[in-house]
């Protein structure tokens, strides 16, 4: 047992899930034992403040007549045998585009001393403020996609999943969480967003595994299949299912569309999540020339598509088309100098 073992689990967000079992080992070195205990205590203490802030924010939105749906974090932690051991560091509340600005105003009124942005922008995925040390994200949309057709298709999936939200009780508070089939898609997409940004972790895969296990029998597989096909993500989903079954103990019958035939690519994806490659691209700093900024952004996104090719050649091709289409659209859009 080494410091590197502790560091890796903390990096992957699985420390408090694994350390209590490891602490049962009487031969554990004293310094390692202390690190593990500290991580577990910190996680549990953090949940207390998060729960209080969640209750305040949720009740404020409900009182204002704003329908919110709790995403990720607390809703996924509730699926674990011991929810207090699943780290969640912020609060994600989906309100949709129509309720977005009123919801942001409610949050500012509810937490007047919070650190906040000066404006909520309609091209952002969410608005963020930090209240009592807790980050609250008010979401216009649940996932950011690049291809215009993907965006349109996902909006319909999102509307169905949020309109048919399920009820979940967390700490005595009755909340709405996404409908199970859509929730599985969204949790998967959230992790895949992080893969594309080189910031995924194993806890996100654990979340998907626990969700599929918890809602076994409630996942509408034909609908999920249509969703994945529409977003060109069937191939990538199968990589996740391989990791879930072979690496995280998910029963094959609870892993929709699992196939053992993608082992090499799935292992490569798992290795890169565990040991992400650093970005060696030199920084060019702020660019005043609009065309240069657009070309530089397009080049970076094309490089990212090439990085994804070893996992999923089909999705890499889809990414390249998305970059070209989005690049052309943004070239003629109103300039946003901060991007």
| 74-125 residue pLDDT tens | 899 999 998 888 888 899 999 999 999 999 999 999 999 999 866 788 878 9
CA separation for the pair 257, 42 (Å, rounded) = 38
Coil vs helix vs strand at 170 = strand
Pick the CATH number of 3-274 from 3.40.190.10, 3.30.460.40, 3.30.1220.10, 2.60.15.10: 3.30.460.40
Instruction: Provide the whole-model pTM.
Output: 0.88
Burial class (CB in 10 A: 0-12, 13-18, 19+), 25: exposed
| 245-301 residue pLDDT tens | 999 999 999 999 999 999 999 999 999 999 876 555 454 555 556 556 656 566 677
| 322-332 residue pLDDT tens | 777 665 565 55
CB 200 within 8 A of CB 191: yes
Kindly list the domain boundaries of the chain, sorted by start residue: 3-274, 290-331
């Amino acid at each position: 047992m080494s410091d590197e073992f502790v560091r890796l689990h903390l990096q992957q967000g699985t420390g408090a899930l694994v350390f209590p079992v490891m602490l049962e080992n009487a031969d554990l070195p004293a310094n390692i034992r202390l690190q593990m205990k500290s991580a577990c205590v910190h996680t549990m203490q953090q949940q207390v403040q998060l729960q209080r802030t969640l209750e305040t924010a949720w009740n404020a939105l409900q009182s204002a007549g704003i329908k919110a749906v709790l995403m990720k974090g607390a809703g996924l932690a509730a699926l674990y045998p011991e929810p207090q051991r699943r780290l969640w560091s912020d609060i994600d509340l989906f309100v949709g585009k129509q309720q977005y600005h009123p919801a942001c105003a409610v949050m500012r009124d509810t937490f007047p001393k919070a650190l906040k942005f000066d404006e909520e922008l309609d091209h952002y995925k969410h608005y963020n403020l930090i209240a009592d040390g807790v980050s609250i994200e008010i979401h216009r949309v649940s996932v950011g996609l690049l291809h215009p057709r993907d965006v349109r298709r996902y909006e319909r999936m999102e509307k169905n999943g949020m309109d048919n939200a399920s009820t979940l009780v967390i700490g005595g508070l009755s909340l709405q969480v996404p409908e199970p089939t859509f929730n599985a898609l969204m949790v998967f997409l959230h992790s895949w967003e992080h893969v594309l940004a080189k910031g995924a972790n194993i806890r996100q895969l654990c979340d998907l595994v626990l969700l599929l296990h918890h809602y076994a029998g409630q996942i509408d597989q034909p609908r999920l299949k249509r969703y994945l096909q529409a977003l060109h993500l069937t191939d990538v989903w199968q990589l996740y299912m391989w990791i879930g079954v072979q690496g995280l103990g998910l029963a094959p019958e609870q892993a929709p569309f699992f196939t053992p035939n993608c082992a090499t690519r799935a292992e490569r994806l798992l290795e890169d999540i565990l040991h992400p490659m650093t970005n060696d691209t030199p920084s060019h700093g702020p660019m005043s020339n609009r065309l240069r900024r657009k070309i530089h952004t397009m080049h970076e996104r094309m490089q990212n598509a090439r990085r994804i090719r070893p996992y999923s050649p089909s999705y890499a091709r889809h990414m390249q088309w998305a970059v070209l289409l989005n690049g052309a659209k943004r070239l003629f859009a109103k300039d946003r100098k901060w991007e």
